[in-house]
Structure 1
Amino acid sequence: MLHPSRWRNRSGFHPWLRIQGKPHQGPSLARFAPMILLADHQDSFTRNLEHLLAGFDRVVVRDRRELTPELIEQCHLLVLSPGPGKPSDYPETLDLFLSCVGYKPVLGICLGFQLMLEAEGATIHRQSQVLHGIETELETLPGSITYQGLPAGIRVGRYHSLQVDPSSLSCLPETLRITGRDPIRDVPLSFEDLPRKLFGLQYHPESFLTCEGNRLIRNIRNACLDAEGGDL
């Protein structure tokens, strides 16, 4: 985990940290059932995403600025929602992500995907072609946990004007693998970092244009909760 003092002043507040010392009073919600915490960036897709995630576990949705250390402690999976703008517009979420790396499993979708990769060293820039509501084929990495049991060449729904620069991927940690790409433009569309339980999808699994969205989330959810016997 990165030292918290490095991030204290950049966005004006202290990042969320693992709670140490005296434990919380009262029963923890996490004892009863897995909980997914969905950090909302005020996107129109958030409720659709909540509905998809709720098919697996209890979901708590909070505005990204209203998350508490208690919620972070209790959650089994943190999901960073889609949202407008670019990753640098959300310094609070960047701090949250950096505080959770190596501590909590994290899944980033669309904006969340870009934010996580930018935090890990990649560069984000505007695409030559804006893709909003476009279904495209996905080229997947053999052996990827994310696409386990899924056919090759699945089609996914994309809604993004920004992309990860493929030339910046060499800056990423060795444990982080790009698991999905646009087969024509070579744009990174998904990643996984199994040792740190980090996952990202540039496309929208909750969209009707992504025919295998439910199975994708199941694979990621099970990979994140495997140590707790939470497979479905």
Structure 2
Amino acid sequence: MQARLLLENGTLFTGLAFGAEGESTGEVVFNTGITGYQEVLSDPSYCGQIITMTSPLIGNYGITRDDFESVAPFIHGFVVRRHEPTPSNWRAEYSIDDLLKEHGIVGISEIDTRMLTRMIRSHGTMRGLLTTSSASVAELQERLTGSEILRDQVARTSTKYTYSSPGSKERIVLVDFGAKSGILRELTARGCDVVVVPQDTTAEQISRLHPDGILLSNGPGDPKDVPQAVKTVSELLGKYPMFGICLGHQLFALACGADTEKLKFGHRGGNHPVKELSSNRCYITSQNHGYTVNQESIRNTDLEVTHINNNDKSIEGLRHSSYPAFSVQYHPEAAPGPQDSSYLFDEFLQMIADHKIKCPAKPRQAELAAAVKGALQNA
């Protein structure tokens, strides 16, 4: 079956369809990862986007239950140079074609993804329409022009209910703005008592859970589309140790008075070099974002830049000069991908331990348990 991808600049790509039949629109982006297509497909931060993989062969090792980063994909389309329909791997349980069909996602292969990537790098991120229909190009252009621009990606991907992953150590409230499963895995592996709350949970509701620390998760879209989250972060700042990842990093910056802006074509892939300013060391990181914290807006805030991107010098890490709070733009929980940055979870827990020494007064354990039980019952 034929599939077509129409960009808003009028460029039309024609290739072979795989996955589901149908039609969808979204922001066309590219990911430079060589492996990890299943984790890319299931990353909630890609909600509403049509993903182009720059690696030329996708699907060769199949899909397995254990490698998902969310229960279901939120992407609006998948673009590859070559789709391998018959995976060869002892872990494979089914194919990428099966996965896309199951979730109603259209895929297109046998197009020049190098040309498409160079076009995005040159012109910037564009909206596109991916279809298996036989409609005329004029009809497709009309549909693309009139298509909806998503502004509610965070609400779509966040959990709707509070839930817990019990542990014996620090209580971490994970605010889910579209969180990857890897974040929860990293926290539970360290014995943390994790309570995951929806993206619209208020500061007061979070305080009732008596957290030792708060983690602001990754998520899709423009951070300015969730102003209630900025308000919540600003109200919690200074009261509890805080760690922000990706969208959480941007929300942390906005809550501190900085500003964010859209990148020309974003950072997406598992091979992005980031320099830690304190040590002058370079880390290879996994990234997925289309927005960044504006450099100039940091000047009149209490934020300090801790990491920068070696490619375009954009901000990759921030720390508050007075409060126990820091953030990074990249993904320290990445899997598969570089594990260089997983130490940041240990730094977060050390920050919590240091804060406990300075502020030792804590509620009794019975009060903590009652607070979590009440939140779960209300959910």
Q: TM-score, normalised by structure 1?
A: 0.73
Q: Deviation digits for residues 153-176 of structure 1, max 9, x if unmatched?
A: 111111011111222221222xx2
CA distance in 2, matches of 1:190, 1:155: 14
CA distance in 2, matches of 1:99, 1:115: 12
- The Cα of 1:211 is off from its aligned counterpart by 1.5
Q: Deviation digits for residues 199-223 of structure 1, max 9, x if unmatched?
A: 1110011113342232121012212
Of 142, 164, 168, the residue aligned with 2:293 is 164
Distance 1:34 1:70, change over 3 A: farther
Aligned to 2:351: 223
Whether the 8 Å contact between 2:286 and 2:338 is mirrored in structure 1 is yes
Q: Deviation digits for residues 174-212 of structure 1, max 9, x if unmatched?
A: xx2110001231100011125301111100111133422
Matched, 1:155 2:284: yes
CA distance in 2, matches of 1:68, 1:120: 16
CA distance in 1, matches of 2:282, 2:311: 12
CA distance in 2, matches of 1:212, 1:68: 32
Whether the 8 Å contact between 1:35 and 1:60 is mirrored in structure 2 is yes
Unmatched 5+ stretches in structure 2: 1-167, 358-379
CA distance in 2, matches of 1:123, 1:227: 28
Aligned to 2:220: 84
- The Cα of 1:113 is off from its aligned counterpart by 0.4
Whether the 8 Å contact between 1:114 and 1:124 is mirrored in structure 2 is yes
Distance 1:33 1:184, change over 3 A: closer
Aligned to 2:187: 53
Q: Deviation digits for residues 13-35 of structure 1, max 9, x if unmatched?
A: xxxxxxxxxxxxxxxxxxx7420
Matched, 1:100 2:222: no
- The Cα of 1:136 is off from its aligned counterpart by 1.2
CA distance in 2, matches of 1:41, 1:114: 12
Matched, 1:72 2:207: yes
- The Cα of 1:91 is off from its aligned counterpart by 2.1
Distance 1:69 1:137, change over 3 A: same
Query: Within 5 A, what are the aligned runs for 1:126-141?
Result: 126-141=262-277
Of 56, 62, 71, the residue aligned with 2:197 is 62
1:64 aligned counterpart, secondary structure: coil
CA distance in 2, matches of 1:165, 1:71: 29
CA distance in 2, matches of 1:227, 1:163: 29
| Number of residue-to-residue matches in the alignment | 187
- The Cα of 1:38 is off from its aligned counterpart by 0.3
2:310 aligned counterpart, secondary structure: coil
Unmatched 5+ stretches in structure 1: 1-31, 144-150
2:178 aligned counterpart, secondary structure: coil
Aligned to 1:202: 329
CA distance in 2, matches of 1:82, 1:125: 17
1:65 aligned counterpart, secondary structure: coil
Aligned to 2:318: 191
Relative contact order: is structure 1 or structure 2 higher (C-alpha 8 Å, sep ≥ 6)? 1
Aligned to 1:111: 247
CA distance in 1, matches of 2:239, 2:202: 16
Letter in 1 for 2:188: A
Distance 1:36 1:167, change over 3 A: same
Aligned to 1:16: none
- Of all paired residues, the percent bearing the same amino acid is 22
Whether the 8 Å contact between 2:203 and 2:236 is mirrored in structure 1 is no
Distance 1:137 1:36, change over 3 A: same
Aligned to 1:213: 341
Q: Point out the structure with max Rg over C-alpha.
A: 2
